[in-house]
Structure 1
Amino acid sequence: MILTVTPNPSLDRTYEIPGLDRGEVVRAAGERMDPGGKGVNVSRAVAAAGAPTLAVLPLGGAPGALVADLLAAQGIAVAPVPVAGLTRSNIALAEPDGTLTKINAPGPELSPREAESLLATVAERSAGADWIACCGSLPRGLDPAWYAELVARAHRAGARIALDTSGPALLAALKERPDVVKPNAEELAEAVGRQLTTIGDAVAAAQELRGAGATAVLASLGADGQLLVEASGTWFAAAEVAAVRSDVGAGDSSLAGFLIAGGTGPDALASAVAHGAAAVQLPGSAMPTPADLAPDAVTLTRTVPTTRLLKTPAP
C-alpha cells in the first residue's frame, strides 16, 4: 500500500481551448474536473494501476468536500484532516500544441494545531504502508522544516519515504535522509544553485543531493528522459511520445510508477518513464491505466549520455 501526503491539495479544472487570446471570449472544446495536488495525483495513478493507496490531506469548505467526493468516486481511500480555510481551486488552460497555462491559487493557511494534526494522521494511518509519498508545496503556515519532521517521524516508525518537493523544504528534509527524492530539472538546478545544460550536469547535481542526505534521486528531465542515481548505480531511461496532450500530473504518475515497481533499481525507473510517457498523452490530469502503458517504448541504459545537451537547460 502506498500512502500519500498532500499538504496543499486542490480542486483542478482543466479546459481544452483552441488558443489563448487575452481580453477575448475563449470557448472551451472540452473540460474536466479532478482532485489535485501532487500527492493526490500519485494516489490517483496508483489506484489507476490497480494498487491500494490512501490519501492523507487537509480539506476545508465546499471545495474540500468535492475533492473528497471525487477521490471516493475513483475508489481512493481518504484520510481527511479538517481545516478552517477553503481548499484551493486551480485552473489549467490546455492548447492543441501542448501549451499549458496554469492559474494556481495559494490555498489556506494552516494553524499550528492543524499542522500537527496532519502529522499525527500520517502516523496513525501509515501502519502497513510500503511507501509514504510526501508531495507538493507547503501551504501557508507550515515551516519549511515541516517535511523534515514528517520524514524523521516516519523513519522512527520504520517507514520508507519518497519526497517530491523543492526549494527550502527539500533542502531542510535532506538531513533526515529521505529514501528517494524526485526533483525535476529546474528543481534540481535550484537545489544545487547552478545551471544544468547537459545530462552529465544533472547526474552531478543528483549525486550532490545524495551527498547531502538523499538515499536515491529520481530526476525528471522532461522530454530528455529520467535519471535514477542510487548507491547501486546510475541509470538513464527515455521514451518516445507521439504527441503531448497535457503534462499536468505526469511527474506524479512517474513517481507512482516508480513506487509500484518497488522504488529502487532499473525496473522501477523503466516503470516511472512508462507511466510518465502515458500520462502526457492523456487529457487534463487523467492518470494512465495499465492499458495506456507502452513499456516496450522505454529505452533503459546504464550508459548515461552525459555529454548530451538538455533540450531545455535548467536555470
Structure 2
Amino acid sequence: MILTFTPSPSLDRAYDVAELAVGEVNRASGTHVHAGGKGINVSRALARNGVATVAVLPTGGPDGEQLLVALERQGVSSRPVPVAGDTRSNVTLVDQDGVTTKINAPSPELSTDEIRALVEAVDAEAARGARWIVAAGSLPDGSGDLFSRLVEVSRRRGVPLALDTSGAPLRDTLATGGIALVKPNDDELAELVGADLHTVGDVRDAARELIAAGTGAVLVSLGAHGAMLVTPDGSWWAGGTALVPLSTVGAGDTTLAGYLSTDGSPSDRLRRAVAWGRAAVLLPGSDVPDPTRIDIADVRVVDDPDPRLTLKEL
C-alpha cells in the first residue's frame, strides 16, 4: 500500500475553452470536476491502475464533503481528518492548444490540534504496512514543520518518504535529511541550488548536490522534455515522441505515481513514470490514465545521458 498525504487538498474544476480571452466572457465547451491536490492525484492514478493506496487529507465544509464523494467514486480509500476551515476549490482553464491557466485558492490555516491529528493519521496508516509515504503539495499558512514531522514518522516506521513540494517547505524539509525521493521540476531544482539549469549536466549536478546533502534519489520533471532520475549510482533520462497536451494539470503527480507503483531497476521505474505522465497530459482536467492509455513502449530511456545536451535538445 502507498500512503499519500495532501495538506492542501482541493476540489478542482476545469473548463475547456476554445481560446481564453482575458477581460471577456468565455464560454466553456466542457467541464470537469475532480478531487485535487498533489498527493490525492498520486492516489487517484495508483487506484486507477490497481495499486493499493490510501489518501490522508484534511477536509472541511461542503466542498470537502464533495471531494470525499469524488474519491469514493474513483475507488480511492481515504482517511479524512476534519478541520474547521473549508476545503478550497481551484479553477483551471484549458484552451484548444492545451495551454493551461490555473487559479489556486488559498488553503485554510490548520490549528495546532489539527496538525497533530494529521500527523497521527499518517503514523497510524504507515503502521499498517505502507510501502511508501508520499508528502505532496503546498503547506497551508501556519503549518511550519509539518513535512519534517512526517520525515520523523518515516524514520520511526521504516517507510521511505517521497517529497513533492516547492519553495521554503521543500528547502526546509530537505535540510532534515533522510528523504528517500524528491521530485522537483527543473525550475524548482534550479531555485534550490541557486543556479540556472540549461544542460543535462546542470540538472545531474544539481541533483547530486541534494543527494550529497542526504536525499536518496531525485526525480526531475522536465515538462515536454521528459524526466531525469539521479541516484548515487547513476543518472537516466526518459522521454518520447512529441505530444499535443490536452491538459498538464496533475501530470507530474501521475509521473510520481508511475515511479512508485512497482519495484524494478531505475531505468524501468523511470520508463514507467514517464509513460504514466505522458498518458495524463492527453486527458482533460486533472483526469488520470487507466492501463489502456499507458504506452510503455513509446518511452525511450538513456543511461548516463550526454551532459552537454541542452534540455531543449532532449
TM-score when scaled to structure 1? 0.96
* Matched position secondary structure for 1:273: helix
Are 2:9 and 2:87, in contact at CA under 8 Å, matched by a contact in 1?
A: yes
- Tell me the distance in 1 between the aligned counterparts of 2:226 and 2:198: 14
Give the structure 2 partner of residue 90 of structure 1.
Answer: 90
Q: Tell me if the contact between 2:8 and 2:107 (Cα under 8 Å) persists in the aligned partners.
A: yes
Q: Is the 8 A contact 2:177 2:213 kept in 1?
A: no
Residue by residue over 1:170-204, the C-alpha shift from the partner in whole angstroms, topping out at 9 and shown as x without a partner, is: 12222231110000011101111111111211111
- The residue aligned with 1:265 is 266
Deviation at 1:311, TM superposition (A): 3.1
Q: State the alpha-carbon separation in 2 of the partners of residues 239 and 103 from structure 1.
A: 30
Which is worse superposed, 45-54 or 169-178?
Answer: 169-178
The aligned counterpart of 1:47 is: 47
Q: Which residue number corresponds to residue 206 of structure 1?
A: 207
Distance 1:254 1:15, change over 3 A: same
Q: C-alpha deviations, 1:217-257, integer Å up to 9, x for none?
A: 01111111111111231111112243111000000000000
SS in 2 for 1:236: strand
Equivalences for residues 56-205 of structure 1 within 5 A:
56-126=56-126, 127-143=128-144, 145-174=145-174, 175-205=176-206
The DSSP-based 3-state class of the residue aligned with 1:196 is coil
Distance 2:141 2:261 in 1: 31
Alignment match, 1:298: 299
State how far apart, in whole Å, the 2-side matches of 1:40 and 1:263 are. 24
The CA distance in 1 between the partners of 2:220 and 2:37, in whole Å, is 19
CA contact (8 A) 1:53 1:76 kept: yes
Counterpart position of 1:30: 30
Question: What is the rounded CA distance, in whole Å, between the counterparts of 2:73 and 2:225 in structure 1?
Answer: 35
| Matched position secondary structure for 2:312 | strand
Match of 1:237 in 2: 238
- Distance, in Å, in 2 between the alignment partners of 1:264 and 1:231 is 14
TM-score, normalised via structure 2 length:
0.96
- C-alpha distance in 1, partners of 2:288/2:311? 26
Contact 2:234–2:304 (CA under 8 A) maintained in structure 1: no
Structure 1 residues without counterparts, runs of 5 or longer: none
Deviates most, 9-18 or 168-177: 168-177
- Which amino acid in the other structure matches residue 30 of structure 1? G
Is contact 2:48–2:75 with CA below 8 Å preserved after alignment?
no
- Which residue number corresponds to residue 219 of structure 1? 220
Task: Specify the alignment match of 1:14 in structure 2.
Answer: 14
Task: Give the letter aligned to residue 212 of structure 1.
Answer: A
Tell me, in whole angstroms, the C-alpha distance in 2 between the residues paired with 1:159 and 1:298.
30
Letter in 2 for 1:97: D
Q: Which runs of 4+ in 1 moved over 3 A?
A: none
- Which range moves more in the overlay, 255-264 or 231-240? 255-264
> Which shows bigger deviation, 149-158 or 275-284?
149-158
Given that 1:258 and 1:264 are in contact with CA atoms closer than 8 Å, whether structure 2 keeps it comes out as: no
Rounded to whole Å, the distance in 2 between the matches of 1:131 and 1:72 is 21
Secondary structure at the counterpart of residue 35 of structure 1: strand
Q: Is the 8 A contact 1:57 1:79 kept in 2?
A: yes
* 1:114 partner SS: helix
Amino acid at match of 2:5: V
Mapped partners of 1:194, 1:176: distance in 2 = 21
CA distance in 2, matches of 1:263, 1:30: 39
Displacement of 1:263: 7.4
SS of residue in 2 equivalent to 1:285: coil
TM-superposed deviation, 1:303? 3.0
User: Counterpart of 1:250?
Assistant: 251
Asked if the contact 2:10–2:89 (Cα under 8 Å) also holds between the matched residues in 1, the reply is: yes
Shift of residue 215, structure 1, vs aligned partner:
0.5
C-alpha distance in 2, partners of 1:176/1:55? 24
Residue-pair matches, total: 311
For 2:43, give the aligned amino acid.
Answer: S
Compute the displacement of 1:305 (Å).
Answer: 2.8
The answer to whether the 8 A contact 2:41-2:253 is kept is: yes
The answer as to whether partners of 2:208 and 2:232 remain within 8 angstroms in 1 is no
RMSD: 1.3
227-236 vs 277-286, greater mean Cα deviation: 227-236
